[in-house]
Amino acid sequence: MWRSGWRTSGVLRRLSGRSASLGAWRWASTTACERALLRYRVGEKIHGFTVSQVTSVPELTLTAVKLSHDGTGAQHLHLAREDRNNLFSVQFRTAPADSSGAPHVLEHTVLCGSQRYPCRDPFFKMLNRSLSTFMNAFTASDYTLYPFSTQNPKDFQNLLSVYLDAAFFPCLRELDFCQEGWRLEHEDPSDPQTPLVFKGVVFNEMKGAFTDNERIFSQHVQSRLLPDHTYSVVSGGDPLCIPDLTWEQLRQFHATHYHPSNARFFTYGNFPLEQHLKQIHEEALSKFQRIKPRTAVPAQKPWDKPREFQVTCAPDSLAAGSSEQTTISVSFLLPDITDTFEAFTLNLLSSLLISGPNSPFYKALIESGLGTDFSPDVGYNGCTRDAYFSVGLQGIAEKDIQTVRDLVDRTLDDIIEKGFEDDRIEALLHKIEIQMKHQSVSFGLALTSYIASCWNHDGDPVELLKLGSQVARFRKCLEENPKFLQEKVKQYFKNNQHKLTLSMKPDDKYSEKQMQLETEKLKQKVNSLSPEDKQQIYEKGLELQAQQSQPQDASCLPALKVSDIEPRIPFTEVEVALAAGDTPVQYCTQPTNGVIYFRAFSSLNTLPEELRPYVPLFCNVLTKLGCGGLDYRELAQQVDLKTGGLAAAPHVLPDDSHLDTYEQGVLFSSFCLDRNLPDMMHLWSEIFNNPCFEEEEHFRVLVKMTAQELSNGVPDAGHLYASIRAGRMLAPAGDLQETFGGMDQVRLMKSVAEMTDIKPILRKLPRIKKHLLNCDNFRCSVNATPQQMSQVENSVDSFLRTLSRSKKERKPVPPHVVEVRLCPLPARRARKPSESKPCSLAFDPVLPCSHLSLAVKSPDWRATWAGDAAASELEASRRCTLTLIVSSVHFLERTLPAHLSLGVFSFLWETFYFQKPAPKGPGRHSLVTRKLVMDPTFKPCPMKTHFLFPFPVNYVAECIRTAPYAAPAHASLKILARLMTAKFLHTEIREKGGAYGGGARLSYGGIFTLYSYRDPHSTETLQSFLKAIDWAKSGRFTQQDINEAKLSVFAAVDAPVAPSDKGLDCFLYGLSDEVKQAHREQLFAIRHEDLVDVSNRYLGAGRSTHGVAVLGPDNASIAKDPSWVIR
């Protein structure tokens, strides 16, 4: 995977793998941390390594142990922490001299077989023989990184063995180079009369990568600001230069770069360090001698005057005809990233300059109305030896280039004169504090990514981790010199002659010109071939095709067994109590390290249909427009000072029991330090009760930024957009998912952004607010420590009491809404008598196959029902009736079309079971109710859509309506999806077809998706999908294949869950641990005949409804087929 220029802006997000940033499992980490601190001593020899440093890093609750290998000089950093999700990585400094993509192609090829594991593609095969929580490889601008993580010690040793052998002893076979890198091959390899074309996985990956105009711009910024050495070329490979790379050059690059003396090893977690060192030494390092690697990247020579460049790109196909598609940025060279404190300071300074509506560049550039969003790669970039800072605008008119340049200069002058407000600096330091406490499950991966660039250039990775001491030093500098930051701005920006102004404008002929350049390159290659060369190419194509089709013996690879999987899941206790009268609040006690996580879900059932497309926009701007007495700048400041962020997002939650039933709503989420809980809940109260929808100009700014972000995201997420569209007509939830997150939403936002009068859209927001921001159909969830719960309950109760309620009950817009109640069981946590009775959530065991079997039971249900024979008899009767209903529906699903079986189900449910609830009273209250939307008239229908984009690659998806989570067939389909991916689709789509990726997956809602990513083919890939289904129906797979698929599925099922997210499935989906355990047991029990059965029952032609979508260039065969809708 290429990630040239890959970064996250700021020290905070560089420790993150998602928007809220990553923390770690800190609550019990003293054991591993203290053990390492006591165990290791400087100078100690361990399995060929010598300990050089042992350092406690209390702010991250870890102990850092630095070592060097005596024989080779290889460096090793171990971070001891009480985290079960252990991680290993090895990185090499790989500085290419040209854009042929040598490090990137090598990254792919070393994973195609090694001396100890010579089978083809052991990397992908290990995905199915392991319980890894992460496996991948990355090529950056000047290093290549190979990380994996797992919670299983045996699995760790297995993966370590495979990674070590791949990195240091790869086969590097010529055919693997041809498959992964590039090759000349006949369009049809078996027909020498078809034309010769370029093929190869990396070749197509990079063609896809450079369909993204943001990536094109970022690459030009780096290449032109740092022109003297490796950063002037494309490490991932320029598609026009990749065909210049030879197999021999690849082998030589490996010999000079993949040596232990040029390697940096990293381990993280609570597994013993000694075992890691022993294995690394014995299996790899002991077989090498020390060398002096010649891979150092020299510093960029500073310029004596600024420079300017202009480049071109393809027009935005979603903004056809717009004249405002130019991008401009001003970039400055900054100091070497190995000066860790200076890098830390400039990182914070960057955040002060560009982050949020209170930052000076946001005010000067974004609010100028000249553009749609900041230019790509904005802010501090510390991924190259010499860091740099960029700022600018995209979506401007070409005539405004000079205006933007002048605004940048004036803004810097203003900052030097006025400095920064104290509250902004404190808000930024608060963000660092909360992010250090915030917890996640991929902290090891975040750390190895965070330190990689600095360590790559011989910086001190341990110093980089000491965030607490860096913050203290930063504060001291500010105290001693109030103009400390202003002087940095003057030094590095105002007086910096190494300054690049880069502009990029669209060229209508850009894609055509790129295609012409590729055609000329191909013609040049073909014309240089002799008849013997052409015959050799034909024969090599046949040889590669035969190799790809030949079954592989993977018995040499290590593997876990299904018996290594834990038979039971760890149960999460959640409790529910009513707050502010009748609003259910789920409490999940977790070791959250002093952070409180709050969520709320509000139903959209009463929202008029015409307002639904604007819900995502409403959610995006709700927390950014101001509220109560706070304008949008003041609100942003308070959010940064008191919380880790406030967010709202629309959700479509499929039912676990029926494909045509779902819940719709908006999820509100936030987190804060415990001391700031009252302030956070007060902010939510003001947002819910007094949102500001009068800021028209700022609303316009937010709309433009939203539209630009959506448009820019299409090239990287094309397969997701294709999948959403393909599933649109297969279930009622599909249309809403397209409305909220599909291409319909992208196009809507682009059209809104281009409106001259935006008031009609702004007037929709108060109407949405009336239906959404109230206590009707509302539920909350809190994760916190036991010590925090009392404070939490009071604050949440106070918040809920401020919310409005409808004076009269609004009727739901969907005609059929079913209330499904979760059944409370006796609570395990004591409460005061004045408090609402809590309950633990669990499914009734009578019918574990369906949540429709849930009954309502109070904490005192045994005593209540024992004294009420009539009620007990009624409930027993209702249960028997429900058993009959669900059994009938399962039978009907197998024998009738889906829309007919649903109609019968709806009739049975509403007639025999769904009666008016009994009056609430002692021992008979239902605490959590999900209001599910049903459409008895829905009939799935096939639909084919082709979205035309000027891409050189395609994104293809085919969706099939199958079975929901609670159905026994769902487990079989989940195993089948993984089986088809590993044993058929990977070979057909990636190895033979040359696509960067492809496979099959099953959604929680029962939509089975076949997809490809950055694919040179479209209709041919659809034919591969058909072949995959035929393969599955024929049962041409072994028990070993099934076991491997189970391992891969359980790796995802058992992926670690952060304390902040514990109980979330129960809160959102009503999915209890009991039902998860039942599903788990179904997965264990899957047999060969089960997989063949579901293949024939659901995937075969005529059995289930299929939908298809393609994003990509014009296709003649699709254009001639009237069954396709062209968009």
Which residues share a beta bridge with 65? 54, 78
983 φ/ψ angles, rounded to the nearest 5 degrees: -100, -10
Question: If you write DSSP's letter for every residue of 946-993 in order, what string do you get?
Answer: EEE---SSEEEEEEEE---TTSHHHHHHHHHHHHHIIIIIIIIIIIIT
Which own/partner pairs from 986-992 qualify as long-range (CB within 8 Å, at least 24 positions apart)?
Answer: 986/121, 986/124, 987/548, 987/549, 988/1024, 988/1027, 988/1028, 989/1015, 989/1021, 989/1024, 990/201, 991/121, 991/179, 991/201, 991/548, 992/545, 992/548, 992/549
Nearest CA to 1003 among 969, 965, 1044?
965
Question: If you write DSSP's letter for every residue of 153-180 in order, what string do you get?
Answer: HHHHHHHHHHHHHHHHSB---HHHHHHH
SS (H, E, C) 384-397: CCEEEEEEEEEEEC
Which residues share a beta bridge with 960? 1008, 1106
How many Å apart are CA 660 and CA 221, to the nearest integer?
49
Q: β-pairing, 1124-1126 with 943-948? A: parallel
How many Å apart are CA 94 and CA 109, to the nearest integer?
15
How many Å apart are CA 574 and CA 787, to the nearest integer?
16
SS3 81: coil
CA-based angle 501:507:511, to the nearest 5? 120
588 φ/ψ angles, rounded to the nearest 5 degrees: -125, 110
List all residues 6 or more positions away from 373 whose beta carbon is below 8 Å from its beta carbon: 366, 393, 394, 395, 704, 705, 708, 709
Which residue of the set 59, 82, 180, 1044 is catalytic? Answer: 180
User: What is the strand order of the sheet 997-1002 is part of?
Assistant: 997-1002, 1007-1015, 954-961, 1106-1112, 943-948, 1124-1126
Q: Is 696 a catalytic residue?
A: no
Q: What's the Cα-to-Cα distance from 224 to each of 311, 313, 376, 502, 803, rounded to whole Å?
A: 11, 16, 15, 9, 55
Tokens of 533: 């060369």
- Measured distance between the N- and C-terminal CA atoms of the chain, rounded to whole angstroms: 31
Place of tokens 């809940």: 681
Q: Is 421 a catalytic residue?
A: no
Which residue of the set 44, 59, 82, 107 is catalytic? Answer: 107
CB 779 within 8 A of CB 585: yes
CB 1104 within 8 A of CB 960: yes
64 φ/ψ angles, rounded to the nearest 5 degrees: -95, 130
CB 545 within 8 A of CB 992: yes
Nearest CA to 379 among 221, 175, 246, 158?
221
CB 601 within 8 A of CB 665: yes
How much of the chain is in helix, strand and coil states, percent to nearest 5?
Answer: 45, 20, 35
Tokens of 276: 């890691």
Tokens of 211: 């369909």
Q: β-pairing, 1106-1112 with 943-948? A: parallel
Question: If you write DSSP's letter for every residue of 411-432 in order, what string do you get?
Answer: HHHHHHHH---HHHHHHHHHHH
Q: Residue 764: which H helix or E strand, with range?
A: helix 764-772
Tokens of 484: 């400390």
How many Å apart are CA 131 and CA 1046, to the nearest integer?
10
Tokens of 578: 């009513």
Indicate which residues carry an active-site annotation. Answer: 107, 180
